[in-house]
Amino acid sequence: MKCSLWNGVGAVGFGASALFACAGDEDTAPPQTEVGALEPGPLLSYGCRQDETKQSTPRGLANAPKTLRAADRQVGAAVSAAGLEDPAYAQTVAEQFNQLTPENEMKWESIEPEPGVFDFSRADTIVAFARDNGMHVRGHTLVWHSQLPAWVEALTGADAVREAMTRHIQMVMAHFRDTFPGTVVVWDVVNEAMNVMQGPMGGVPIYRDSVFSRELGEGFIAEAFQIAHDTDPDVLLFYNDFGVEGVNGAKSTGTFDMVSGLVAAGVPIDGIGFQMHTAPTDQGPNSADFAANSARYSALGLQVEITEMDVSLCSTGSNVLGQELQRFRYNSIVSSCFGSPACRSVTLWGITDPSSWLNSNGCTQGTLVLDTKPAPLAFDEAYARKPAWWGIYDALAGCQYQ
Ligand code: G3I
């Protein structure tokens, strides 16, 4: 269903209620008498819903039967083990999502801080929460140049790196395979292995410098996938990266060529993760470009996922207009992904705005740090649903804004 602007550009002003559910959800909307104070609503209305009186967004989740946890879609979020200790955070996660990604807890420095010494405790907290709430987990990530312990960075020689990489993949995957059968269903086996070198003729795709590419050559990617497959042939194995979401651009082209080469060589890869750290005004990619990119990976026989979506408001400000543009962006990209049969899931990179990784740098202009906040996610600091949430919700209901 495409949802066009309702009554033309229906600027209804600040403080108006949200008007954006798609047809069919009227029965689940909470009655007005239960909702209490309403959040500021979005500026524009789209012709997705027919009954304006039931479109308001209640503050908090107590009166909120609506959920992104749609039965036939995998909709996920990155979470932290520490966050799950907060009851409001845990309630939101359990009510709204059916797939989780540990934001940091499965990374090499967290899980194998010393050679052969494994600490699964914080990752286990998240995977147990997922299992107990009927969710799947995306394992993130096995081989990545970042968040490596110093001892891995210091390895020299192909044999030493191969031995460490093999042990790490085998031990980590076997742990979750055996401790939580059927819960971790997909792994980011290799993360962010591609890069771009700028030259006089423009950008040229290259393999990113890392201890893995230095010591094993580009073949480390195929090796990692083979080890992962041999360890657990029942889970999906993904390559995950940023800046590869659209068709054009040196990195996107280089990554497609690299992944095509893996497929042609019979390497056991199941899919590509598009991170999708983006902004409302980004044209890279628009929904058609993203769909075209998904289609070419699908033609290789691969699944696609949006693995780390957030929409930073640094360029627009976190005002009503910014929030509307953000809602539109979420709607258009989530619609585009689920419009492809190859799209397995969409994951948001965090729960509430204040918990986003983007706050660590804030919004900057040159060396200036601005007062503007990135506010890139679907829930605000009080766990209230933002216009962005409605954009995702409408996309899941098959309503794509025009
Ligand atoms: O855990 C330590 C804590 O003990 C210490 O006191 C504190 C002091 O700074 O640092 C804490 O570690 C931080 C860690 O997040 C956990 O909060 C690191 O400094 C910080 O660098 C780290 O940032 C993470 C980042 O990856 C590292 O590259 C972000 O949370 C995480 O969201 C981000 O996620 C990545 C994906 O894995 C891959 N794609 C890009 C995405 C965004 O950068």
Task: From 55, 2, 46, 59, select the one nearest 25 (Cα to Cα).
Answer: 55
- Other CB atoms within a 10 A radius of the CB of residue 184 amount to 28
Q: Check if 308 is active-site.
A: yes
Residue 337 C-alpha to ligand 1 middle, in angstroms?
Answer: 27
Q: What is the pLDDT along the chain (402 residues), one digit of tens a residue?
A: 665 543 333 333 333 333 343 434 433 333 332 333 334 444 455 655 444 334 444 344 444 457 898 768 999 999 999 999 999 999 999 999 999 999 999 999 999 999 999 999 999 999 999 999 999 999 999 999 999 999 999 999 999 999 999 999 999 999 999 999 999 999 999 999 999 999 888 899 999 999 999 999 999 999 999 999 999 999 999 999 999 999 999 999 999 999 999 999 999 999 999 999 999 987 779 999 999 999 999 999 999 999 999 999 999 999 999 999 999 999 999 999 999 999 999 999 999 999 999 999 999 988 898 989 999 999 999 999 999 999 999 899 888 887
Report the C-alpha gap between 340 and 354 in whole angstroms.
32
> Residue 343 corresponds to which tokens in the numbers above?
């799209």
Atom of ligand 1 nearest to the CA of 349: 32
Among 79, 101, 103, 140, which residue has the most ligand 1 atoms within 8 Å of its CB, making it the best to mutate? 103
Q: Check if 192 is active-site.
A: yes
Question: Considering the entire predicted model, what is its pTM?
Answer: 0.90
Helices (H) and strands (E) counted in the chain, each on its own, are: 12, 15
DSSP letter for 59, please: S
Residue 357 C-alpha to ligand 1 middle, in angstroms?
Answer: 7
Among 357, 358, 360, which residue has the most ligand 1 atoms within 8 Å of its CB, making it the best to mutate? 357
Catalytic hit among 39, 103, 112, 192: 192
Enumerate residues lining ligand 1, CB below 6 A: 103-104, 146-147, 191, 275, 308, 357
> Residue 368 corresponds to which tokens in the numbers above?
């200036």
